[in-house]
Amino acid sequence: MIAQRCVNCSKRVEWVVLGINFGLFLLKGWFALISRSKSLLTDSFESLANLIITVVVLVSLKMASRMADEKFPYGYGKVEFLASGIVNMLLMIAAIIYVLMSFSEMLMVGPEKPPGLIAIVGAAISILVNYIAFGYGRCAGEKVGSSAILANAQINLADIGTSVAVIIAVIGSNLGFAQLDHIAAIVICILIIKVTLDGAKKAVKGLMDASLHSEERHIRNLIEDIVSNGHIGDIRARLGGRSLLVDMDIFFPPNSLLGASLEIVGNIKNMLHRKKKEITEISVQLLPFPGTERPVSTANHQAKIAKTD
């Protein structure tokens, strides 16, 4: 089980990040205006985009926490992937449009007065604050297994890179590389495009129940010693929002006692729930060895397939 303090932390982390992104948007916007830095202005709009993403994450987390009902018997966990995919795609489109606008402005306007060095102060503050937000979000996201919180933490990490680009652009522009501030603004947008594209791909994989091969291998390694007199068949793991759902097939000899086999299934579940706290559902299907006619049975009972949930 996930520690209650981690659950409480996950509930407030996005509100903290929301305040951080709003403050950074205002701070970097003000420094951009007084320093005339195009790259820092772009960086401030990235913080605004992060603010919007955080709002969407808060809404999706609220919906994902709802209990399963008749309409959605498997719960609302996948709403996190849906929200993440939509926001990432919208942000990517906006970044592409800004790249085209910045490139056109750079060619038509030509060299301008370099931005003031005060822009470096705004960028440095952004690096420090975003690093704190990234560490906080990554910790909370990993503890509760939330893809939405982790995705938002990665956006704060990307913002660190863009703020570094701003510092390089401002210094370079003042050393005589007149167009460097425009170029940095374009590079920042390209970084945003890359991050949002990766986020959209992860969202699609979550919605499509893509196989989690590394998780499946890990689960197999954990239960190998438990299934001593049987054989582990297919293991399938998929994400249901922040939860991990596991299905597996276990083959036993036809003369195995059903009670002993069910005890092994119980040991498997206890092991996985203890070692991988993000797992919320484990379904184990007991099957006879391929080529045998009699399934797992007791002395007086036979069953073709025994399935435990």
Cβ-contact 239, 206 below 8 angstroms? yes
Instruction: Give dist(CA 199, CA 178) in Å, integer.
Output: 34
pLDDT at 73: 60
3-state secondary structure of 210: coil
Residue 284 has pLDDT above 80, yes or no: yes
Residues near 12 by beta carbon (within 8 Å), at least 6 away in sequence: none
Instruction: Give dist(CA 271, CA 273) in Å, integer.
Output: 6
Least confident of 46-50, 54-58, 165-169: 54-58
Q: 140-177, pLDDT tens digit by residue?
A: 777 776 666 777 787 788 788 778 888 888 888 888 77
Residue 298 has pLDDT above 60, yes or no: no
Beta strands in the chain (DSSP E): 231-240, 243-252, 279-288, 306-308
Which of 204, 213, 289, 284 has its CA nearest to residue 255?
A: 289
pLDDT at 303: 37
What ranges do the domains of the chain cover?
4-207, 213-308
Instruction: Give dist(CA 239, CA 207) in Å, integer.
Output: 8
Instruction: Give dist(CA 35, CA 171) in Å, integer.
Output: 12
Across all residues in the chain, what is the average pLDDT?
A: 75
pLDDT, greater one: 10 or 274: 274
Residue 208 has pLDDT above 70, yes or no: no
> What percentage of the chain exceeds 70 in pLDDT?
74
Instruction: Give dist(CA 118, CA 174) in Å, integer.
Output: 12
Q: 91-147, pLDDT tens digit by residue?
A: 788 778 777 776 776 666 555 677 888 989 998 999 999 898 888 888 877 777 666
Phi, psi (deg, nearest 5) at residue 224: -55, -45
Cα distances (Å, whole numbers) of residue 178 to 121, 143, 161 = 20, 46, 21
Domain 213-308: CATH superfamily, name plus number: Cation efflux protein, cytoplasmic domain (3.30.70.1350)
Instruction: Give dist(CA 9, CA 36) in Å, integer.
Output: 39
Domain 4-207: CATH superfamily, name plus number: Cation efflux protein transmembrane domain (1.20.1510.10)
297: DSSP letter: B
Residue type, 272: L
Residue 297 has pLDDT above 50, yes or no: no
Q: Could you count the other beta carbons within 10 Å of the beta carbon of residue 46?
A: 27
**Which secondary-structure segment (H or E) carries 72?**
none
